[in-house]
Structures are given as structure tokens and as C-alpha cells.
Structure 1
Amino acid sequence: MEHKPGHPEQLAMANESAPDSDLVQTPEELQAIEQQRALLNDVDPSTSDATQVAQLLHVNPQVGLSTSEAHRRLAQFGPNELASAPEVPKWKKFLAQFKDPLVYLLLAATAISLIAWIIEKVGGHAEEALPFDAIVIVLILIVNAVLGYMQEAKAAQAVSALSEMTAPTTNVLRDGKVVRIATTDVVPGDVLVLAEGDTVSADGRLFAAASLRIAEASLTGESVPVGKKPETLATAKALGDRTNMVFNGTSVTQGTGRAIVTGTGMNTQVGKIADLLSSTDEEATPLQKEMNHVSKILGIAVCAIAVVVLIALAVMEGFHTTQDVIDSLLLAVSLAVAAVPEGLAAILTVVLALGVQRMAMHNAIVKKLHSVETLGSASVICSDKTGTLTKNEMTVERIVTPSGEVELTGTGYTPEGDMVGMHGAAITDAVRREALATLATGALANDGELRQGATAGSWEVVGDPTEVSLVVAAKKTHADRAFERFQRAAEIPFTSERKRMSIIAKDTTDNGDLTVFAKGAPDVLLSFCSRISVNGAVRPITEGDRQAILHAVDRLSNEAYRTLGQAYRPLETARLSEVSGIKCNAAGQAADVAEQADVIERDLIWVGLVGIIDPPRVEVRDAVAEAHRAGVRTVMITGDHPLTAARIASDLGIIEQGGKAMTGDELDALPDEAAFDAATSEVSVYARVAPEHKLKIVESLQRQGNIAAMTGDGVNDAPAVKAADIGVAMGITGTEVTKESAKMILADDNFSTIVAAIREGRGIFDNIRKFLRYLLSSNVGEVFTVFGGVVLAGYLGLRQPETIGVTVPLLATQLLWINLLTDAAPALAMGVDPMTEDVMNRKPRKLTDRVIDGAMWSDVIYIGIIMAIVTLIGMDMHLAGGLFTDRSVGALGHDAQMVEARTMGFTILVFAQLFNALASRSHLQSAFVGMFSNKWLWGAIALSTVLQLLVIYVPFLNTAFGTTPLPAMAWLECIGLAAIVLVASELRKIVLRMMQRRRATV
């Protein structure tokens, strides 16, 4: 039997006259193809015979293009993609780093500083030969822009890598074989091989179709899927009525088909209206909204503080000169610089990108960076059974026939094994005959395919694993040879609603009569059977036969077998139109057989059933247990028999031993939404469910406040996957439609990968909170330092009685340097901090929970105050007339002493923030737990220390940043005072842990 699984070869047009694609080799012939393709646009392929379309594109529809020819056409016509906006030049991306209100503020500060220097220079009072403040601010802005550009480039590379991993693929016929290629590589003349769940990747002319229905709402607005047939249209019709054409961007909802590609990229119908399409801005995620909220709070707070300080200065000191006004404005700028962590947005993006890349390396491909926050909040995982919770290595092990039962040895997809009697018993001739007929029927009513692999002894599986298991079983027993004379003529595809499939095959060695071969869920298929085959003799089926079959189904299901029944029916004619009850078209030919399933799939003859085992994945039980510890509930939703579902679920720990599954019929029997919600809050295993049940279950769980993840592979799973908070598509068995609907793709189709992704998502979110705590507390510390230094200037010795004008405790350039030094490297290093051991021992966070909650704000304010106090104390210790010390001015005078004091405050603040980096790794856990686990953080601390030493001991940097070399004793003071930040944090954590333990015991 020439069997191309999943595709109705007998409906395919014979096109022996079409030239083989390998004949097209010269540039002249390629030019001819382009001309012919242009002719297609003028002629309209829908009104042209499929043979003519094939000839115009130099392709044999039965063979497809050769690989070399496809490569030539790809070079000739370009990739199959819509034109996108031209890439933004690198120089524009760099300049975009300056498009920020803070940068505008700093540029204003530069202008103010430059004007002040010019005024002093003209008046002959300038102490500096160059405007160092202005130069340093500009240089730091440039450095910050370079860092931001590099970080964004790194994040863009990560996103690009993820896009490549999730790039859509398409089945095409190349060199006579069905192969899966990147959608961008589809070229004119390719033969598209379409099946349920596929996204149509190009415009094409159908030449074969079986029950093909395509959703074209994205193109035509038609909400109901359109039935497709290969017949040539008599006249040109509107886009939605071109039933023999398929269009780029639409999706197959039912059936199979093949089409010759007539247009790719911008030459498709979607491409022609691409200019009219506008992308809608996506709603900001909770994390993005939180960052915007924080920025607003900081902006309002710093403006309020700046206004208060300026008013206080005006009242207390008065603005006597232009210099007073300039100094006051510079002070306001210093406060703004201190308050805002400049690199926050870039660091957040990079941390998310790096985390998502790590997840991708572990087979969890998250399509959008900000989906990570949702992933870490998952509270329910709704999972299919086959392939996700189990190995998806389906193996037929039992064959039950009317005369007995046998076992089939061998596992996996290698067609090696024997038929043996149960418990070593001999196999009778009747049982053997019936078993071979059962396997042969299953191999015929089948869309799976088993191919010899590239290496000896290897096998390649194409199609649904359950169907392939039947092909493997038939090959093991040579049952497939018994029906090689049959050739498929038509197909009634499997759907989730029908739970069965049938094919009509022609006997090529006899009189050409047609026979229906069917397989499906035994309880469903049995209802269409009126007869039974026993040892080759057909007789009416009795109620006793039915009960025996159903009892066998329950017995096998209870042993975790998936069961499939097999049946057939001779039509006793070579023409479908002659079958009683079949409707015909005007030409006397049978209409679409799928629409007449009720006539064809009746009076079937029961042959037997098979028990298929798919063992649970060993690692899934541990993953389910880990999810349970993390407060994440696992729900199994499957189309399998309830006993099979319950057995697998109990083995994996989803339910207790002896637990039961709820069926789709039982869900339908629930009286109202409240009863439905009550059921889903308790039940964790569902069997024999339809696609609409999956959607209802997800929506019910969401109504109860859950963050639901939903796995899916088929086109019917797409609505539930899309509705879920975290839609998860299968990377191996998943359809393109489902992958497009999902937010995450499992490259290995493994449930354990979902749990690992949730763990990683929680770790990423924890790290985001770590560096937010660090950045905000550090910047709040800078604000309090500047504010406290101005308000308490007279008490701390910052302003001497004879001092005229405003005294700023730290210069704007010093604050900028601190932010540049401590915001970038340490914050990025904290973004890759190892996960804590308790990451999966706590309940999921709610999406309504604030990223920066009250506990974090208390941390931020507390550390900020401590940081300001130790900084101002360090400055006070080096000033005359201070609160804690009263050093004499000395020979160098107050100005030199002020430079030394500022250098002390500057250095203390830098090291206080580096100690704060260690303290900010946890709200409760001691910094000394796993202190050296993050090598990147220690590297960042070392780098920041070296750069600070350069600013203090390199002469030209002394001038630029207003610093002076510090003596050895001063370093002891700096480190000692800065370390108080870590000590204060540890004391606070001890108190918080004690309070937590006390609450736990109450």
C-alpha cells in the first residue's frame, strides 16, 4: 500500500506532464518563473486549473521542489516575510539614550555650571582654568549612555535569540518527502502540506483537500471557518469566497490538504494590505506599571524636597548674588541626580533577558520578557497527560479480540517484537487472525508514519505518537502486509468532538471495491457497530458482546492503558456515489465525505481493541511534589478513559490512591456556574473532556483568583491556552496555532520543565526585588545625605560663620559618579544572584501584590537614613566646628578642609552602598548566608573599589571630582562607618526574624 499518512493521495490531481523542479537550473529559467509568477497575479489562480498553476511554477505536485531548487528560489524571491520597518541605525539608538527627563535636567545643570564659570572667568574670579563640573557631567552622561546602549543591545540579542527559537515552521513537500522548514524559507512553487492546527504560511492554490476548513477571520473577518475544496472556480470571486485558495496568516481548524504556493511575503494577500495594518500597543505589565509608579513617586518627592530646600535657603540665607542663585539651582540638580537610579530601566531589561535565556537553555522558551512575573505567580498548572506527564513513547502492549487476548513485546518505536499469549499461554489461530486484523485496521485508519532514520537501526516518527504506535505494532507482526493492496481514497478526520477517524480505501488487487476502516475511543466507536467479526465470520453484535468489550476497556484502563477500538465496513462498490444515502454533486460525484460521516460510519463491523501504554515520566512525580510545596496545584485534563487518567494521576501524586476523575459529561450536568466553580476547586483530574471543557475549567479557576497555566498541543487547545494567564504550548507535538496563542513553549514537552520554569521565574522576580531594594535604598541615602547636609550645615561644620552662599555637602559630579559606579555593575550582578533554597517553599505571590511593598519601603527608608547618618558623621569628623569633632581649620584653610571632608563623605557613601549590596540580597536572611555564592557581585564590588581609588589618587581626577588623597587612618574611618550599614541591616533582620517566628507560633 502506498500510504502517505494524513493526506488523501487519491484526491490529489495526477500531473505527470508537469516538469520536474530539478529541470529549473539556469538564470533564464528562473527569470521565466518570475514572469510566470507575475502572470499568476494577473490571471488569478482560483480560476485556473491546478495543473496550469503547477506548470507555470515548474513544479510536480507529487514531488515538490528539490532542495537545491528551493534554495535558488529563496535567493531569487527573498524570504517569506512581511516588510518590516527599517532597522534603527546604531547612532540613533545611542542618541536615544539621552532622551530622558533626567538627562535634560543634567544638561541644564551643565549649562548653569558653564554660565557660572564664564561669569567668574570674565570677572577674573575663576579658580579653575577649565569648567571641570560641566566637563565631568557631560563625560558621565556619555559613559552612562554607552553603558545603557550596551545593556539594551545585550537584551535585544537575547530577545532575538528567543525569537529564533520560537520562529514558526511549515510542512512542505521537498524531494518527494514531507519536511518541516522555517516559514521564512517557503518559496513560490513549494507544496504546502496542511493539517489541523497548522498556520498557513503563504498564499496557495489547493490541489488536494479532505474535510479542510480554515479560519480566515484574521483576513476576511469571517468568524466561521471556511470549507476548502480544490475544484476550479468558474469566475473570480471575493477573497472570502475563494474556496480553492489558502492564504497566509490563516489557520487550519479541521482536515488536511495540499497547495501550491503562489505568493510569499509581500506578494500575499496579507502583504498587499500590510501598509494598512497597525500594531496595537500592548498594555503594560504589573511590573512595568510598578516601575512607572516608583519613578513618579521619586520625581514628586525630589521636587518637593528641592522646593523645600530652596525656600529654606531663601528664608534663612537669602540670595544676595547671582552665584547664590546658581549654587541653589545646582543644589536642586544634585538632589535630582541623587534620587533617580539612572540605569534602572536598562538593568531591569537585561536581568529579564538573561533570566529568560537561562530558562530557554532548560527547554522553557518564554516568548516575552515580562511574562516572567506572571510565571512566578502561577498557582495552578492544568496539564494534558500524554507526552507532558508521560513519556509519549506510546507502545501497543495488549490486543483484545472477540476470541481472546494477546500481548505484544518490544517498547518504543523500534518495530521489533512478537505476539505472545497471556501469561505464556498458546495463541489460537482465531485469536491470531483477529489480532492481525485489528492491527491492520489501525494501521490503515491512521495519519502517523514511521520512517527509517538516517543511521542504521534508528527510526523517525511523524505524526501523533498514538497513531504511530499502531503503525509500529502492525510492522512488528507484519499485519501491514495483509492490507498493502488497499489505497486511501478519502478520509473523515479525527476531531476532539467525534473521538474517532475513518478512511475509505480502494482494493487495488480485486474489483476496486471500497472499504471503510475506522478507529476511535472504544465506547464511542462501539455505538456505530452493528456487527462483529469472530474468526473471520461476521455476525450481529449482541448486548453480551458489548458488555464484554466495555468490561475489557475498563480492565485495561484500570491498568493505565489507553484503549482504541478498530472496526471496518465493506461498501461493496467501487464508487462512493453508489453507496446508499450518499449525497452527490451535479456531476454525479460524491460530495465531501466528512460532511456525510453519519452515512459512512454506520453499520460497522467490530474487529477488536488495543491497549496502549505510555509510562509516566520518572521525574514528573518529584516535580508535582515540588509544585505542591510551592503552593502550586496540578490539574490533569485529558481525553483518555477516566480509569486511565485516575491511575496515572495517582501514580504521579496528583490525587490520592483510589481517587477518581471527573468526566466531561459530569461537568455538563452541573446546574450552574457556582456548582462548576465548586467542582473545579476540588477536582484535580478530568477525563473524556472536549475542548470547550478545558476553556471552562481555566476560566473557572481564574474566577477563584488563581493564576492558571494551561498546556496544549492541538488547535482545539488554543482557546484555553490563550485564555490562561500562562499559556504553554508543546514544542514537539504542538501545532503552530497553539504556539502562537501561548506565552511559553516547552521544547521537550515535559511537565517538569513547567515547574522548573516557575522556579526560575520566582528566582528572577526575587532578584528584581533585590536590586530594586538596593538601588532605591542607595539613592534614598544620597537624597537624605544632601538634604541633611544642607539643613544641618551649620551644626556639622559644613558652613562656617564667615561662609557666604550655599554650601553643598556633595557635588553633583560626585553624586553622578556614585550612581555610575554603584548602580550599574552591582545591580546587574544582583540580577543573576543564585536562587535561595526557600524559593519553592512559599506560596505564590498575587499579581495584585505590589512589587515594592510596605516591607521593602521600610527597608529602603531605614537603610537610606543609616547611610546618610554615617556619611554626614564622616564629613563632620573632618571639619572644624562639627557636632562630633572640632578640628582646627589648619594652615590650608576651610576650603581645603571642605575638600577633604567631601572626599570622606563621597568615599563613605560609595562603600556604604557596596555594603548595602550585600545586605540587600534578602529581606530576612542574613547577608552572611551564602555570602560568596555570587562571584559576579564580588567582581562588581572589586571593580567599584578600584575605580573609587582612581578618583581619589589620580591628580587630574582630583580636580574633576573635587577630591583629595586620603591618609591611611581616614580609610579606617571610611570602612568602619560604611560597615555600619551592614551591621544595622543585620540587626533589623534579626528583629524581623524573631517577629516572624513569634507570629508563626501564635
Structure 2
Amino acid sequence: MDAPAQSEQLDRIDPLDLDPSLADATEIARRLEADAHLGLTAAEAARRLAAEGPNELRAVRPVPVWRRILAQFNDPLIYLLLVATAVSLGAWLIEGSQGLPVDALVIAAIVVLNAVLGLVQEARADNAVAALSTMTAASSTVMRDGLLTTLPSTQLVRGDLLVLGEGDSVGADARLTEANSLRIAEASLTGESSAVTKHPRTLPAPAALGDRLNMVFKGTAVSQGVGRGIVTGTGMNTEVGAIASMLERTETHPTPLQVEIGHIGKLLSVVVIVIAIVVMLTIVLVQGVSTPADFVTVFLLGVSLAVAAVPEGLPAILSVILSIGVQRMARQNAVVKNLKSVETLGSASVICCDKTGTLTRNEMTIQQLLTASGRVDVTGVGYRPEGDVRQGDAPLTDLCLRYEAQLVLGAGSLAGNAQLTEKNGEWEIQGDPTEAAFLVAAAKLEGTTGHMARFDRLDEMPFTSERKMMSTLHQETSDGSLRIFSKGAPDILLERCTFLQVGESVVPLTDERRQRMLADIQALSAQAFRTLGVAYSRADENTAPLDEADEQGLIYAGVVGIIDPPRTEVTPAIKEAHRAGVRVVMITGDHPTTAARIASDLGIVEPGAPALAGADLDLLDEPGLREAVRGTSVFARVSPHHKLRIVDALQANGDIVAMTGDGVNDAPALKSADIGVAMGVTGTEVTKEAAKIILVDDNFATIVAAVRGGRVILDNIKKFLRYLLSSNMGEVLTVFLGVLLAGVLGLAGASSETVVLPLLVTQILWINLITDSGPALAMGVDPEIDDVMARPPRPINERMIDLRMWMGIMSTGLVMAVVTLATIDLFLPGGLLPVLDPGSDDLTVARTAGFTTLVFAQLFNTLNSRSELTTAFHRLFVNRWLWGALLLGVLLQVAVVELPFLQAAFGTASMDTVHWAVCVGMASIVLWAEELRKWILRARTRS
């Protein structure tokens, strides 16, 4: 297309819809009515700022306090408890409003306590997230009225002339007009670990975000060089803003725990109504009701049993247990923003993670060095100059190889602009990470840094994308001689070399030697190393200033292999995740070869496993993508929408997905995942906002530890559900069977009342008070009993209370009812069992014994409920809170039986030693019966 035609086409395009990378910078300036040399005037910038708004992302509206409070009550179990409160209050009014409506007040207090716990935890998480946020606002340098001006980045407008220098944060999207050795770190946006070299030339065709080399983007950073550009997008009209918009449109899903508790709440609602109706009808049909007082008694019993069937402590206990689990995770550097999110990690079947900064250190490191005399390995990772330079497994003793290694590392360090400094014991870099890698490696080889100190820099030819190399001119302080040091793409550098360094000698670079050097370069590239060659030459006094003619006839010194190394703690963490049946998937913007190498080193995939690139994903429809993600664990060169598609495809396959990340490009996928995990140190604010969990230490191993913690919490939730429901079932079956079999048990003949009950209403409420709270709460903080990482994740369609658990709940409840009624029968004449002490006991004593047996049976049931298969005697004494709750329960029961004022309130009578021994012995049958059931289940599991 010729220039007039192109200009005519641009005139028909609104600047906001124009891809600036495809248009000439001069044309972009014209369309934005900007000056590419002097910038905007202050008045025009102020006008645009008022019209377009500040350069910031649209803030998430804070949730009003009243909505946060109401959200705590948005739970089916809470609805059920509120109904139970209303029914209990109605029964109290019907009974004559005598005393306080204790039951209604207790349930209401539990509902309020649950809401308070939820609000407190959310506030704690908000404070922790705020503490992780940076407290300083970013600033930018622009030309205003022809003068350099530094201002807050929020005041940038379209048309501003942005001036960039090394170390600056890019404040807005801009089309470059000038670039001198400009390299931009775009990992937070694209996931690419290496800095990208920029230039101002117009691109010939549309390109992916990471390949728009004439553009700079908001949220990235200048690692080297200088440049200028015209701001083309601010706020939500930047690439970061586009991701933020995608984030707003991304739906969040309820956690598996929320789904399961909702299911349990609905199920219990039906069960409660059925229990109340069946029991009341049974009493009416079996015993008959003739007076209004009898109707009130039957109604109160129905209500009491309905309340007994509902584990009213469940929401509060659930919140307390999750809160304790969250506090434990916070001590392990994981901040949980929502209580119910912690359990989701325990159910996760896939952990999707970014490579750069999550699995790797985001610290470029030289690991290998190849010269004419052989290979050298550099130990140690990151920017801390700890490690050494070795020849294989042995110290570097070959003098020729040592000299060559010193030359490569020293020359590579001098031909750069990075700085390595120590501050408070921490090592930091300024400048390009690749150049810093030379400084770190040079510090590991004794004597190299001292040789570098002998040279003073005189001139520099910066790196350009055309030349793919840079050179510096130095003078040796001892004799005044001049040296040119060069580094760059090894194949390009070799073309400019005519000599080769061999030990301390310089020999001609023959074709055979050149081919051998090229083979070395290819060998490093095949191992996913980023390669940089190093060369040098002697110069004369007329060399300065440097030009390209001086970069000929160089002496080739060698090539280094650079990689962003994996974190040392990641490999064992991945191994532990695999042991737990959790698949780890790497999703990165890096090159497929590099991604596959890192994934193989970490144990994510077997060596040789391929990576699927973003371009391949674009060719797949949704069914094809769902099939692809089943067998692929490495995805490379992906964009934000690819990450989102991968997460959605995994979820469509039935996986519970945890997604980790630190860059803006990770945020939409983090929000869509079942559990989003953001990095607290390197993570952007957009990412932290989207995530449900934030890792303070950016440590992947913390995620796996959180998976273990989540599974322990899930186990503990199942423990107290098993305990509460089986104990409550014991109460319901005791009353139901006691009424149904009143004549057989001797209850009917022991009283003149029309309605004879095995337990009084007040006794049922007492049982709920002392057995449904303390022991259940203590079980919620139980340590790990079974090896939770030795089993696969819980399938997404598996009920927390499955058929086997329901069978256990029913069988335990039935045993409780049988031993309770049998105890009553032992102390009443006319029943099935022979009376232990004829003539000495009445209905009050027998009922007290049954009441006590049921309480003790539920206390024994706490030991049963700690595991579905493991014996109760395994790690019996590890939970001191549980034993404290059991002791308290025993003391309270003794008090309610033996203290006169409590006897009057709860209809009990004192018992002698025989009675107490019978109660304990009968109650223990629950423990032995459950041990037998577990033994049978273990035998079936083994077979």
C-alpha cells in the first residue's frame, strides 16, 4: 500500500480502534494531535485528563457492610436454623411463656456467632492483602511544553510524549518514536522471562502482544536503554485494562464446600420435617392423645426432635474450624481471603501454574560455559554470588580452560551495563537480568572480578535488534592498552570472528573449528539454554568512537548457557502433589522448548514430552481443547485468553482447578479457576484482587502444603459431620423407638401419664448442649490421623457424606438408641431384660440412666468419628482439646444427675455406683461396635 492510500485509510479509523504497531509513529502523533518532539502543552494535557479520566484501572466497588453482613446468612443451614428458632419460640409461647426461651436463644446466638466469625475473617484477609500492596504510587517522565516533567502515572493522557530510562516502570501503552538499546521486561504481561528488545519501526503485519516490538505497555519495566514514545492508551484502554475488563466478565464459581453444605442443608430440611411429623403421628397412634396438655407435649417433643436432628452448631463450628485452618495457613505464608476457599485446595485435582517467578526464580543464571578447551559448569542459582565454577564433578584445575572461562565471564561482564549490589544481606540487580548473570558468574570464579577492575570504559556500541550484539571499548589501567569486548547472538558473533582463544594463545578460526563452535551452540540451545557468545579484540588509540567496522576480526572466546532456574523447593513439592493424585500443569508465555525443559527438570512431565503452543490452541474447538488438556501438561507461548480457555476446559472435564500466577496476564484465569492463588511478592495488584489465596513467600511448595492443610480441614469437617449426624440420629431413634416400643420396654406401665417418653424435652436439649459443641469443635482441630496425601482428590461429583458414611451414621445412631433403651429396660420392671435391682428404681431413675448412657455413648462416639477406617486407638492422645471436651462433658453430666437444683430442672435423680458402671459399660458398646465395623471395612478394602 502506498503512503497516500495508507494515510487515507488511517483517516477513517478512530485512534482508539487503531493498532498503533501497524502505523508510522509520525502518523500516530498526527492523529492524536501530539508533538513527537515537544510533547503536549500543560493546558492541553489538563483538558484531556478531565475529559478522559485518570490513567488507572477501574476500581472494584467495595461491598457495603450491610451486604457483607447479609452474605453471612446466605446459607441453607442458616435458613433452617432460623426456622427452628421461630418454631422453638412459637412452642415457648404456646406453653405459656414461662421462663426464657432457652432453645431459641441458643440457636439465635449460634447464628449470630457464625456471622461474626465470617466477618472477622474477611476483615483479617482484607487487611493482609492491603499490607501486601505497595504504598508508593508509580511516576512517569514526560515532555510537557518542551520540558522534561516527572508526574504521577495516573496523570498520563493520550498524546503524551513518554520518556523512558533504565529502571523506569512504563506508565501507559505507547508507540515508540525512539529506542536506544531499549529492553523491556514484560513477564508480568506476557509471561516471557527474558527482556524484549524494542525498536521504533512499523510492523508489517499484526503481531501477538509479546511480538509488538515497537510498543511498550503499562505495567512493564525498562531493564536497559532509553526510549521515547507517544502514549496511545491509558487506564482501561491499555492492554492491562483489556485484561481487567476480561476479569470483570469472568464468572466465579461456588466452592465445592459451599455446594456440599448447601446440599446437606436442603437434605436436613426435608429430614427434619419428616422426623417431626412421623414422631408426632407415631405418639398419637400408639399412645393416644386426649387432652390439650397432651397435644402441647407431643408438639414440643416434635419440635425438640427436629432441633435435635439439626446440627445447629454446624455453621458456627464450620466457621471456627475454617478460621483456625486459615490462621494455620497464614503462619505458613498463605493468606486466605475467603474461609470456604481453604477447603477447595484440599479437593484440587489440577494445579495450573505459571513458569516465570512461580516455578522458576525469575533470576537469569549462567549454568554452562563452552570454550575451545571444553565445558565448564557453574553452580549456584539466582543473583547471590554463591557457588563455584567446575569441570564436570571436579574442581576447575585445567589452566587453559580456567583462563578461557575467566576471559568469557570477565569480557561478558564488561560488555554490559548491569549492576549487582548487596543490601541488608540481599543481593539485587539493576539493569538487564541477562547481563547481571555474567556479573554473578564472574564473582564465582576466583580472580575474575579483580581482572575486570583493571579496565576503564571509554565507549559503547549498544545492542540493537538488527546487529544482535553490543560492544564496549575499555582501557587497561596498567599499560593504557585498549580492548574491545563484545557479546551477542553466538552465530552472529562468530561471523565477525577470525580468531579463536585457546588457553592463553590466539589461533586462527578455521572452518573446522568454526563448525565445532556452532555445534556447541546448538547443543546448548537443544537443552533450552539461552545462548550468548563472547568475543574481544585489541584496539589502537584511534578506535574511539566505536563503529561497526571495529566489530570485525574479533577473537572468539566462548559461549554461555543461561536459564531461569527452577526453585529448589519445587521439585519435591511437585513429587508430593503427584503422590496425592494432583496433576501439575505449566502454562507460560515462554518458548515451548524452554517450557518443556523446565517442566522435565521439575518432574512435571517425562523427558521428551512436547509442549502445546498458543497457536496450536487457536486451531482447537472446545471439544478438541477438552481432549487436549487431558494429556498435555505443558502449554507455552500462551496469551491471557488461552489461559482462561485451558482452565475452563479442565473444569469442563470435571477437574477442580487451582491456578497460580503473578502477572496481570494470569488474573482472568485465576478468577475463573476454582481456587486462584496469587504471588504476594511479585504478584501484581490486579492478580491479588482476582485470587482467593495469596502466597506471601511466592513459594510453590506453600501451595502443596496448603493442599495438605485443605485435605486435613476437609477430613475434620467430615469427622464432626459424622459425629454430629450420628449422635443426633441416636437421639431421634431413641425417642422414636422408645415411643413405639413403650409397652415392650416397660415404659407404659411405669407411669400414669398418657404420653410416656424415654427422654424429656429438657434432657434432649441438654444432650445437644454438651455433646454438639465442645467435642465437635475439638474434632475440627484434630491433627492429621490418616495420610491425607496418600489418596487421590475427592471427585467433584462425590458427596461429602456418601452412601458408606450415611450407613455408618445410621448404624451408629441405631446402636446408641438400642443401648440407651436397653439401659432404661434394665432398671424398669415389665420389660424385655431382667431388672438389675427390683423394687428400688422408678421411671425417673431409669430415664436418668438412659439419659446418661446416651450422653456417654455420644462421648465415646467422638473417638469413633476421628476416622472412617482407622481404629479409634490410633494416635489416641494427640488431641488434648478433644480430651478436655470429653472430660468437661463427663463433669457436666455428673452435675446434672447429682446436683439437686439441676435435678429439678432436667427431671433427673441421683444414681449409685452400679448405675454409673452400667451406664459407662452400655455406652462403650458404641465404641466396640464401630471398631468391628471398621475392621470389616478395612478387610474389604484390602481384598
List aligned pairs for 1:670-685, cutoff 5 A: 681=630
CA RMSD of aligned residues (A): 6.4
Matched residue SS, 1:807: coil
1:59 corresponding residue in structure 2: none
1:102 corresponding residue in structure 2: 81
1:649 corresponding residue in structure 2: 600
One-letter code aligned to 1:632: V
The 3 A distance-change label for structure 1 pair 923 and 433 is closer
Counterpart selection for 1:626 from 548, 562, 576: 576
Q: Distance between the aligned counterparts of 2:186 and 2:938, measured in 1?
A: 60
One-letter code aligned to 1:352: L
> Does the 8 Å contact 2:457/2:473 carry over to 1?
no
The 3 A distance-change label for structure 1 pair 463 and 757 is farther
* TM-superposed deviation, 1:164: 5.1
2:909 corresponding residue in structure 1: 964
Is 2:637 aligned against 1:690? yes
Matched residue SS, 1:341: coil
One-letter code aligned to 2:307: V
* TM-superposed deviation, 1:373: 3.5
Q: Distance between the aligned counterparts of 1:526 and 1:378, measured in 2?
A: 46
> Does the 8 Å contact 1:159/1:353 carry over to 2?
no
2:413 corresponding residue in structure 1: 439
Counterpart selection for 1:923 from 852, 868, 873: 868
Is 2:400 aligned against 1:426? yes
The 3 A distance-change label for structure 1 pair 342 and 432 is closer
> Does the 8 Å contact 2:371/2:404 carry over to 1?
no
The 3 A distance-change label for structure 1 pair 640 and 951 is same
The 3 A distance-change label for structure 1 pair 329 and 420 is closer
Q: Distance between the aligned counterparts of 1:100 and 1:663, measured in 2?
A: 49
One-letter code aligned to 2:921: G
> Does the 8 Å contact 1:784/1:865 carry over to 2?
yes
> Does the 8 Å contact 1:372/1:765 carry over to 2?
no
2:271 corresponding residue in structure 1: 301
2:529 corresponding residue in structure 1: 562
2:610 corresponding residue in structure 1: 662
Q: Deviations over 1:166-211 (max 9, x none)?
A: 556767579xxxxxxxxxxx99999x9999999999999x999989
Matched residue SS, 1:865: helix
> Does the 8 Å contact 2:223/2:433 carry over to 1?
no
Is 2:521 aligned against 1:553? yes
* TM-superposed deviation, 1:942: 1.3
Q: Distance between the aligned counterparts of 1:871 and 1:765, measured in 2?
A: 31
The 3 A distance-change label for structure 1 pair 385 and 474 is same
Q: Deviations over 1:858-898 (max 9, x none)?
A: 11111111111112222333334434356999699xxxx44
List aligned pairs for 1:212-231, cutoff 5 A: none
Matched residue SS, 2:421: strand
The 3 A distance-change label for structure 1 pair 148 and 675 is closer
Q: Distance between the aligned counterparts of 2:463 and 2:522, measured in 1?
A: 33
Tell me which moved more, 810-819 or 291-300.
810-819
Matched residue SS, 1:905: helix
Q: Distance between the aligned counterparts of 2:591 and 2:694, measured in 1?
A: 23
In structure 2, runs of 5+ residues without a counterpart are 1-41, 141-151, 157-161, 190-197, 201-214, 230-234, 241-246, 476-483, 502-508, 537-543, 549-553
Q: Distance between the aligned counterparts of 2:261 and 2:165, measured in 1?
A: 44
> Does the 8 Å contact 2:613/2:637 carry over to 1?
no
Q: Distance between the aligned counterparts of 2:720 and 2:638, measured in 1?
A: 43
1:827 corresponding residue in structure 2: 776
Aligned residues: 827
* TM-superposed deviation, 1:607: 9.2
One-letter code aligned to 1:564: T
2:324 corresponding residue in structure 1: 354
The 3 A distance-change label for structure 1 pair 430 and 989 is closer
2:824 corresponding residue in structure 1: 875
Counterpart selection for 2:103 from 102, 120, 137: 137
* TM-superposed deviation, 1:796: 2.5
List aligned pairs for 1:469-618, cutoff 5 A: 469-473=437-441, 477=449, 548=516, 550-556=518-524, 562-565=529-532, 609-612=559-562
1:979 corresponding residue in structure 2: 924
Matched residue SS, 2:748: coil
Q: Distance between the aligned counterparts of 1:193 and 1:331, measured in 2?
A: 80
Matched residue SS, 1:426: helix
Matched residue SS, 1:376: helix
1:12 corresponding residue in structure 2: none
Q: Deviations over 1:365-414 (max 9, x none)?
A: 44433333332233344556666556666543544579997777887535
Q: Distance between the aligned counterparts of 1:912 and 1:418, measured in 2?
A: 66
1:330 corresponding residue in structure 2: 300
2:800 corresponding residue in structure 1: 851
Matched residue SS, 1:691: coil
Is 2:814 aligned against 1:865? yes
Q: Distance between the aligned counterparts of 1:634 and 1:791, measured in 2?
A: 57
Matched residue SS, 1:840: helix
Is 2:851 aligned against 1:906? yes
> Does the 8 Å contact 2:72/2:118 carry over to 1?
no
The 3 A distance-change label for structure 1 pair 487 and 728 is farther
One-letter code aligned to 1:137: D
Matched residue SS, 1:369: coil
> Does the 8 Å contact 1:405/1:431 carry over to 2?
no
One-letter code aligned to 1:831: G
> Does the 8 Å contact 1:562/1:613 carry over to 2?
yes
Counterpart selection for 1:940 from 880, 885, 895: 885
2:310 corresponding residue in structure 1: 340
1:994 corresponding residue in structure 2: 939
Q: Distance between the aligned counterparts of 2:630 and 2:555, measured in 1?
A: 43
> Does the 8 Å contact 1:194/1:252 carry over to 2?
no
Matched residue SS, 2:608: coil
TM-score after normalising by structure 2: 0.69
List aligned pairs for 1:238-277, cutoff 5 A: none
One-letter code aligned to 2:888: L
* TM-superposed deviation, 1:348: 1.3
* TM-superposed deviation, 1:924: 1.1
The 3 A distance-change label for structure 1 pair 974 and 201 is farther
The 3 A distance-change label for structure 1 pair 675 and 309 is closer
Q: Distance between the aligned counterparts of 2:824 and 2:169, measured in 1?
A: 68
Q: Distance between the aligned counterparts of 1:799 and 1:116, measured in 2?
A: 24
Q: Distance between the aligned counterparts of 1:318 and 1:869, measured in 2?
A: 24
> Does the 8 Å contact 1:198/1:737 carry over to 2?
no
Q: Distance between the aligned counterparts of 2:317 and 2:891, measured in 1?
A: 22
> Does the 8 Å contact 2:614/2:638 carry over to 1?
no
Matched residue SS, 1:930: coil
Percent identical pairs in the alignment equals 44
Q: Distance between the aligned counterparts of 1:297 and 1:167, measured in 2?
A: 43
2:291 corresponding residue in structure 1: 321
Q: Distance between the aligned counterparts of 1:356 and 1:662, measured in 2?
A: 38
One-letter code aligned to 1:662: P
> Does the 8 Å contact 2:529/2:594 carry over to 1?
no
Matched residue SS, 1:611: strand
Q: Distance between the aligned counterparts of 2:498 and 2:136, measured in 1?
A: 42
> Does the 8 Å contact 2:421/2:428 carry over to 1?
yes
